[in-house]
Structure 1
Amino acid sequence: MTVDDARVTVVVVTRDRRAELERSLPHHGSPVIVVDNGSTDGSAAMIRARFPHHRLVEAGENLGAGARNIGVRLATTPYVAFADDDSWWEPGALTRGADLMDASPRLAVLAARVLVGSGEVVDPVCAEMARSPLPRAPDLPGPSVLGFLACGAMVRRNAFLAADGFDDVIFFMGEEERLALDLAAAGWGLSYVEEVVAHHHPSPVRDPLRRQILVGRNALLTAVLRRPWAVVARAALTMAHTGPAGWRGLGEAVTRLPRALARRRTLPSRVETARRSLDALDPHKRHDR
Structure 2
Amino acid sequence: MEAEDDRVTVVVASRNRRADLLASLPVHRAPVILVDNASTDGSPDAVEAACPDVRVIRLPRNVGAVARTVGVRAATTPFVAFADDDSWWAPGSLHDAAAVLSDHPRLGLVCARILVGPEERTDPVSELMAASPLPQDASVPGEALLGFVACAAMVRRSAFLAAGGFDPVVRFPGEEERLALDLAAAGWAMSYVKEVVVHHHPSPSRQPPAARQHGIARAATLTALMRLPWRDAVGELRGVAAQSQSHRSGVVRGLREAPAALRRRRPVPAEVAAMRRLLVRW
Give TM class, smaller chain. Answer: over 0.9
Residue 90 of structure 1 corresponds to: 90
Unpaired runs of 5+ residues, structure 2, are none
Indicate conservation of the 8 Å contact 2:29/2:91, yes or no: no
Q: Take 1:226 and 1:92, find their aligned partners in 2: how far apart are those partners?
A: 36
Q: Take 1:137 and 1:239, find their aligned partners in 2: how far apart are those partners?
A: 30
Residue 269 of structure 2 corresponds to: 268
Q: Percent identity?
A: 53
Q: Take 2:172 and 2:212, find their aligned partners in 1: how far apart are those partners?
A: 10
Q: Take 1:220 and 1:150, find their aligned partners in 2: how far apart are those partners?
A: 19
Residue 115 (str. 1) matches residue 95 (str. 2): no
Residue 101 of structure 1 corresponds to: 101
Q: Take 1:267 and 1:108, find their aligned partners in 2: how far apart are those partners?
A: 17
**1:235 deviation in Å?**
2.7
Indicate conservation of the 8 Å contact 2:185/2:269, yes or no: yes
SS in 2 for 1:270: helix
Q: Take 1:124 and 1:232, find their aligned partners in 2: how far apart are those partners?
A: 26
Indicate conservation of the 8 Å contact 1:112/1:196, yes or no: yes
Indicate conservation of the 8 Å contact 1:4/1:28, yes or no: no
**1:86 deviation in Å?**
0.5
Q: Take 1:9 and 1:170, find their aligned partners in 2: how far apart are those partners?
A: 24
For 1:232, the aligned partner's letter is A
Residue 12 of structure 1 corresponds to: 12
Residue 258 of structure 1 corresponds to: 259
Residue 177 (str. 1) matches residue 177 (str. 2): yes
**1:5 deviation in Å?**
1.3
For 1:247, the aligned partner's letter is R
Cα-to-partner distance string for 1:207-229 (whole Å, 9 max, x where unaligned) = 22110101111111111111122
Residue 286 of structure 1 corresponds to: none
The size of the alignment, in residue pairs, is 281
Indicate conservation of the 8 Å contact 2:217/2:248, yes or no: no
Residue 140 of structure 1 corresponds to: 140
Runs of 4+ in 1 over 3 A off after TM superposition: 238-244
Residue 124 of structure 1 corresponds to: 124
Residue 38 (str. 1) matches residue 56 (str. 2): no
RMSD between aligned alpha carbons? Answer: 1.2
Q: Take 1:33 and 1:129, find their aligned partners in 2: how far apart are those partners?
A: 28
Residue 236 of structure 1 corresponds to: 237
Q: Take 2:200 and 2:15, find their aligned partners in 1: how far apart are those partners?
A: 16
Unpaired runs of 5+ residues, structure 1, are 282-289
Cα-to-partner distance string for 1:144-169 (whole Å, 9 max, x where unaligned) = 10011000000000000000000111
Q: Take 2:176 and 2:74, find their aligned partners in 1: how far apart are those partners?
A: 20
Equivalences for residues 147-158 of structure 1 within 5 A: 147-158=147-158
Q: Take 2:248 and 2:5, find their aligned partners in 1: how far apart are those partners?
A: 46
Indicate conservation of the 8 Å contact 1:109/1:191, yes or no: yes
**1:239 deviation in Å?**
4.2
Q: Take 2:21 and 2:97, find their aligned partners in 1: how far apart are those partners?
A: 24
SS in 2 for 1:154: strand
Give the TM-score of the pair, scaled to structure 2: 0.97
Q: Take 1:133 and 1:254, find their aligned partners in 2: how far apart are those partners?
A: 31
Q: Take 2:76 and 2:85, find their aligned partners in 1: how far apart are those partners?
A: 22
**1:18 deviation in Å?**
0.8
Q: Take 2:126 and 2:56, find their aligned partners in 1: how far apart are those partners?
A: 30
Cα-to-partner distance string for 1:2-29 (whole Å, 9 max, x where unaligned) = 2121000000111001111111111113
Residue 208 of structure 1 corresponds to: 209
SS in 1 for 2:198: strand
SS in 2 for 1:80: strand
**1:106 deviation in Å?**
0.7
